[in-house]
Amino acid sequence: MSRKEEVLQDVVIKFAGDSGDGMQLTGSQFTNNTALLGIDLATFPDFPAEIRAPQGTLPGVSGYQLRFSSDRIFTPGDECDVLVAMNAAALKTNLKTLKKGGKIIANTDGFDTKNLRLANYPDGINPLEDGSLGNYEVIKMDVTKMTREALKDITMGTKEKDRAKNMFVLGFLYFMYNRDMESTLHFFKEKFGKKADILESNTRALQAGYNFGDTTETFTTTFRVEKAKMEPGVYRSIMGNQALAYGLIAASQKSGLPLFLGSYPITPASDVLHELSRHKAFGVKTFQAEDEIAAITSAIGASYGGLLGVTTTSGPGMALKAEAMGLAVMMEIPLLICDIQRGGPSTGLPTKTEQSDLLQAYYGRNGECPMPIVSASTPSDCFGAVYEAVRIAIQHMTPVIFLSDGYIANGAEPWRFPKSEDLPSIEIKFKTDLGHGEDKFQPYLRDEKLVRPWAIPGTAGLEHRIGGLEKQNITGNVSYDPDNHQLMVKIRQEKVEKIAEYIPEQKLDSGPATGKLLVLGWGSTYGAIKSAVAEMQEEGFEVSHAHLRHLRPFPRNLGDLLKSFDQVLIPEINNGQLIKIIRDQYFVDAKAYNKIMGVPITKTELVMKLKELLAPAS
Amino acid sequence: MSEAASIPILTPKDFATDQEVRWCPGCGDYSILAQVQKIMPGLGIARENIVIISGIGCSSRFPYYMNTYGMHSIHGRATAVASGLKAARPDLSVWIVTGDGDGLSIGGNHTIHLLRRNFDVNIMLFNNQIYGLTKGQYSPTSEEQKVTKSTPYGSIDHPFNPLALALGADATFVARTMDRDPKHLQESLVRSHQHKGSSFLEIYQNCNIFNDAAFEPFTEKATKPDNTLFLEQGKPLIFGAQRNKGIKLDGFKPVIVDLGDGAGADDLWIHDERDSNKAQLLVRMFDDPRIDGHLPRPFGVFYETDRPCYEEMMELQLQEVIQSKGAGNLDKLLRGHETWTIS
């Protein structure tokens, strides 16, 4: 049968189904397959907080959005071209994100009376049958029936057989996009190697899906997306939390400080604990503590003992750690607190993304308690950003907060990974003995960076006591002296501000160095801002983009940079947090663009906002 | 850790700091500090390898007065800080100083989890049955009906039995001593140190300002013999000023027998620190000494058992992984399993 192949530039697929349908696995398999072809990509997993919300219902829908392109891309896309709907609820919740003319791949078995009722369609209404999807190309297939048929020779229960439904769909998509299935077959062998029947059912379902496309004459066109023109080099696919874990291991290896992670499971940070617990071969010690407080205080104990103490958490967990963070500030020891932000307040939206812990990171502790803050802007950037956070913690003897969020944590992208020899070195200077003319160890005697010496237990002659009570300058003895307290508060502040001398100046991501409008962002809004600004620039608008990695202290030239523009726009996935700090520190009348819906800002809406600022309606 | 031979001979004074001790005059903490400083030179550990970690409360000032490494951490968290330190540095001798409020109220969670994990650390729980530093509120070990600043009509809280709690958390060493018996206190500290695993030592400590004489029945010369029972391994449970009273088991119920009354020492309960069943009964000998016919309060080592320590198993697991997979290679990790090249 003759079939034509169409070359596409950019495709967005949304895999949507019940949270038990395995959509995350389906999406990530297609993602890996795409990555290995050198196609640029970005992903956005979107799943409910419940592990198994009631089957078939709207809250139970789990989605995975993948965008792939032969151009460089920086977001998972605002709208999708293809929607895979495993049931009626999946269609209902995701139809609004499908482009007009887009394809719907619908599993008809998921549109039976029961599923339609669970998805709140009126009695007797089936969107696949009533003509309401006339603006779309609907590809109907009874995935359940065909999967069961493909597995009829295998001895296993129907329920088990139905678990392979998602692989039938994946096989069909591999056909549709002209893919080799080897990467997934290899994955099956790795994952199910010891469970012969599950290996067999998944393999057969995958092949059946592919063959269904191949042998059915209705599918006359397949699609191809070419390799993207990316910087030459060797790439892999990476997710944010994985990159974060690797960054910590790299920093531990390069500094020579063994890594200790004290952590308590919390969405969306738990994957960092999972990842690090697998890497004992690097001497990584992971400790699943009894609560968030023990997680950070155990890390403080480890840092005090001379290890690289790290704790990972999300907003509610960081709130619980606040007092211990103050202890680390007072004791001036290296420590890393990684906050993978999620929607708040309280339990909030555990599986949805938000940038709403910035003010908590800045101010959320008792007393005058400054701590450096570093943030990551993309999944792969978690590696470099956390590496930098560790460098600051060690070289400036201070706890540091690292901010990521659920969107970056679970998103994947291609990564031109570095060679270990190219990573900057992180030097450690433990104090090992009394210096010339020192008759007594002075734990709070500082160097030119205002950094105190790090003397760890086991070092003879440097025995000393530290703690949370105010310290006398230089000696570190307990002091309630009024002048000393004022002095110490000022010193701790100045010590953090001084870090600005040891971090790079702020660069522009794109656009002229002065002009009409600067879009200033931080964290996971990077891709949306970059894409929106690029579109504006192509249309001839004068817009620049700067994206902050260092949030405290800010790069030393940031004030000058902000004042080089007529207007500054700060888009954030919160109710306006960075903007408060920027206005406070620089007296800049920045404008806000805030989205607080648990989802990323889209390029389209940002372009609209930029146009509104640059070309006000006359 | 340094070789024992290379450690200079130290005296208790070597363990004192230049900091003025600031507990109230007459506080039981002075005795505990003195006994700790007395036993330290005999342990054969170099000063730099000893770390004392405390939380918050009167007792938690302790590290400032010990010339070793020390951390005065935050309220309730000494046990959690010590867990991280011991996991990170198994070579150090880690001592935890906590109180009934610090270790059983705000930090109760960390205490039980440290015990079940069995880090090789020593917990000294100074129990004065009151909040001293905050000036006199009832604590989780205060007796019912106690009138304090926060319970003007008497406390309605049922108190913890600290040793039963520790045993319930599967502590591997459970002991009780008191500030007013320096010799017993010293022996108990040494036993705590010698135990490999978490040692839970409850120390009755008098707060002469906010809860004076709380332990008087157990500590005063006149009442101590009839109200206390000093446990000795392999010895029958005998007490009383004339050593004429003993404890025997009537089924699972400990009963007092008069030794002059025909009952021979042969019938008595023989103390066995390794008997986990009897330890359950022993920690429950917790009668209010004001009640007629009360059982005496035991002191000494109630229970000791051997269980692998967390930090050792953690190290072992790392070594096993390194042996089977080889030491980690950073470039291999970063590269992962699947890559593609753009030229």
* Cα distance from N-terminal residue to C-terminal residue, chain A: 59
- For A502-557, how does the pLDDT look when each residue is reduced to its tens digit (9 = 90+)? 999 999 999 999 999 999 999 999 999 999 999 999 999 999 999 999 999 999 99
Distance from CA of B256 to the nearest CA of A (A): 42
Beta bridge partners, B66, equal: B16
Q: What is the CATH number of domain A236-422?
A: 3.40.50.970
- For B123-182, how does the pLDDT look when each residue is reduced to its tens digit (9 = 90+)? 999 999 999 999 999 999 999 999 999 999 999 999 999 999 999 999 999 999 999 999
Question: Would you state the pLDDT for residue A360?
Answer: 98
Residue of A nearest to B116 (CA): A290
**What is the C-alpha to C-alpha distance for residues A426 and A255, in angstroms, rounded to an integer?**
5
List chain A residues with CB under 8 Å of B70: 464-467
Q: How many CB atoms lie within 10 A of CB A397?
A: 23
Q: What is the mean pLDDT of residues A217-223?
A: 88
Give the DSSP H or E segment for B86.
helix B78-88
User: Does the pLDDT at position B1 exceed 50?
Assistant: no
Q: What is the mean pLDDT of residues A568-588?
A: 98
User: Does the pLDDT at position A280 exceed 70?
Assistant: yes
Would you place residue B263 in the very low, low, confident or very high pLDDT band (cuts 50, 70, 90)?
low
What's the CATH code of the domain at B87? 3.40.50.970
Would you place residue A49 in the very low, low, confident or very high pLDDT band (cuts 50, 70, 90)?
confident
Tokens of A300: 């403080």
- Listed by start position, the domains of chain A span 4-225, 236-422, 429-503, 508-614
User: Does the pLDDT at position B51 exceed 80?
Assistant: yes
**What is the C-alpha to C-alpha distance for residues B338 and B341, in angstroms, rounded to an integer?**
10
Question: Would you state the pLDDT for residue A51?
Answer: 73
Report CB contact under 8 Å: B330, A462. Answer: no
Report CB contact under 8 Å: B74, A297. Answer: yes
- Check residues A148 and B267 and name the one with the higher pLDDT: A148
Tokens of A238: 């990476």
Tell me, yes or no, if B121 comes closer than 8 A to chain A by beta carbon: no
**What is the C-alpha to C-alpha distance for residues A130 and A191, in angstroms, rounded to an integer?**
42
Distance from CA of A172 to the nearest CA of B (A): 23
- In terms of Cα–Cα distance, which of A318, A194, A305 is closest to A264? A318
User: Does the pLDDT at position B2 exceed 50?
Assistant: no
Answer positive or negative: Cα dihedral of A460, A464, A467, A470. Answer: negative
Q: Specify if B296 maps to a domain.
A: no
User: Does the pLDDT at position A118 exceed 50?
Assistant: yes
Q: Half-sphere exposure of A22 toward its Cβ, with a 13 Å CA cutoff?
A: 15
Average pLDDT of chain B to the nearest whole number: 95
Answer positive or negative: Cα dihedral of B203, A292, A325, A286. Answer: positive
Report CB contact under 8 Å: B85, A301. Answer: yes
Q: What is the mean pLDDT of residues B318-324?
A: 97
Mapping DSSP to helix (H, G, I), strand (E, B) and coil, where does residue B276 land? helix
Tell me, yes or no, if B6 comes closer than 8 A to chain A by beta carbon: no
Peptide bond before residue A555 is cis, with ω within 30 degrees of 0: no
Residue of A nearest to B65 (CA): A465
**What is the C-alpha to C-alpha distance for residues B247 and B4, in angstroms, rounded to an integer?**
43
User: Does the pLDDT at position A380 exceed 50?
Assistant: yes
Q: Specify if B324 maps to a domain.
A: no
* Bridging pattern class, strands A233-239 and B340-342: antiparallel
Count of domains for chain B: 1
Q: Specify if B299 maps to a domain.
A: no
Distances (CA, A) of B180 to A115, A259, B34, B95, B205: 75, 44, 12, 21, 8
Structural contact between residues B57 and B102, judged by C-beta atoms closer than 8 angstroms: yes
List chain A residues with CB under 8 Å of B110: 290, 293-294, 297
Q: What is the mean pLDDT of residues A175-179?
A: 95
The position carrying tokens 């110490």 is A488
Tell me, yes or no, if A479 comes closer than 8 A to chain B by beta carbon: no
Structural contact between residues A411 and A380, judged by C-beta atoms closer than 8 angstroms: no
- In terms of Cα–Cα distance, which of A273, A267, A315 is closest to A298? A273
User: Does the pLDDT at position A487 exceed 90?
Assistant: yes
Question: Would you state the pLDDT for residue A193?
Answer: 85
**What is the C-alpha to C-alpha distance for residues B138 and B136, in angstroms, rounded to an integer?**
7
Q: Provide long-range contacts, Cβ within 8 A and 24+ apart, for A179-182.
A: A179/A33, A179/A37, A180/A33, A181/A33, A181/A206, A181/A207, A181/A210
Full-model pTM:
0.94
Q: Specify if B249 maps to a domain.
A: no
The position carrying tokens 């989205």 is A595
Tell me, yes or no, if B20 comes closer than 8 A to chain A by beta carbon: no
User: Does the pLDDT at position A236 exceed 50?
Assistant: yes
**What is the C-alpha to C-alpha distance for residues A87 and B195, in angstroms, rounded to an integer?**
61
**Chain centroid to CA A99: how far?**
26
Give the DSSP H or E segment for A606.
helix A603-614
Select from A285, A323, A467 the Cβ nearest to the Cβ of B88: A285
Tell me, yes or no, if B338 comes closer than 8 A to chain A by beta carbon: yes
Mapping DSSP to helix (H, G, I), strand (E, B) and coil, where does residue B160 land? coil
User: Does the pLDDT at position A605 exceed 50?
Assistant: yes
Tell me, yes or no, if A305 comes closer than 8 A to chain B by beta carbon: yes
Q: Specify if B319 maps to a domain.
A: no
Residues 312-331 in B contacting A (C-alpha not used; CB under 8 Å): 314, 317-318, 321-322, 325-328, 330-331
Q: What is the mean pLDDT of residues A344-349?
A: 96
- Strand ranges across the sheet with B199-204: A465-467, B69-72, B50-54, B93-99, B122-127, B199-204, B173-178, B297-304, B228-230
Task: Check residue B24 and report its DSSP letter.
Answer: P
- In terms of Cα–Cα distance, which of B79, B157, B146, B153 is closest to B118? B79
Would you place residue B5 in the very low, low, confident or very high pLDDT band (cuts 50, 70, 90)?
low
Q: What is the mean pLDDT of residues B64-86?
A: 98
- Architecture in CATH for domain A508-614: 3-Layer(aba) Sandwich (3.40)
Peptide bond before residue A571 is cis, with ω within 30 degrees of 0: no
Q: Specify if B100 maps to a domain.
A: yes
Task: Check residue B106 and report its DSSP letter.
Answer: I
Tell me whether the CATH fold assigned to A4-225 matches the one assigned to A508-614: no
Residue of A nearest to B7 (CA): A460
User: For A258-334, where are the E strands, in sequence order?
Assistant: 259-263, 285-288, 308-313
Beta bridge partners, A286, equal: A261
Peptide bond before residue A345 is cis, with ω within 30 degrees of 0: yes
- For A99-116, how does the pLDDT look when each residue is reduced to its tens digit (9 = 90+)? 999 999 999 999 999 999
Average pLDDT of chain A to the nearest whole number: 95
- Architecture in CATH for domain A4-225: 3-Layer(aba) Sandwich (3.40)
Residue of A nearest to B338 (CA): A236
Q: How many CB atoms lie within 10 A of CB A438?
A: 13
As a whole number of angstroms, the longest Cα–Cα distance in chain A is 91
Question: Would you state the pLDDT for residue A616?
Answer: 60
Mapping DSSP to helix (H, G, I), strand (E, B) and coil, where does residue A307 land? coil
Distance from CA of B111 to the nearest CA of A (A): 10
Question: Would you state the pLDDT for residue A64?
Answer: 95
Tokens of A351: 């599986």
Select from A249, A300, A459 the Cβ nearest to the Cβ of B333: A249
Residue of A nearest to B88 (CA): A302
Residue B69's domain spans which residues? 3-214
Tokens of B91: 């070579």
Tokens of A510: 């794109």
User: Does the pLDDT at position A617 exceed 60?
Assistant: no
Structural contact between residues A571 and A519, judged by C-beta atoms closer than 8 angstroms: yes
- In terms of Cα–Cα distance, which of A47, A110, A58, A59 is closest to A84? A110
Residues in chain B: 343
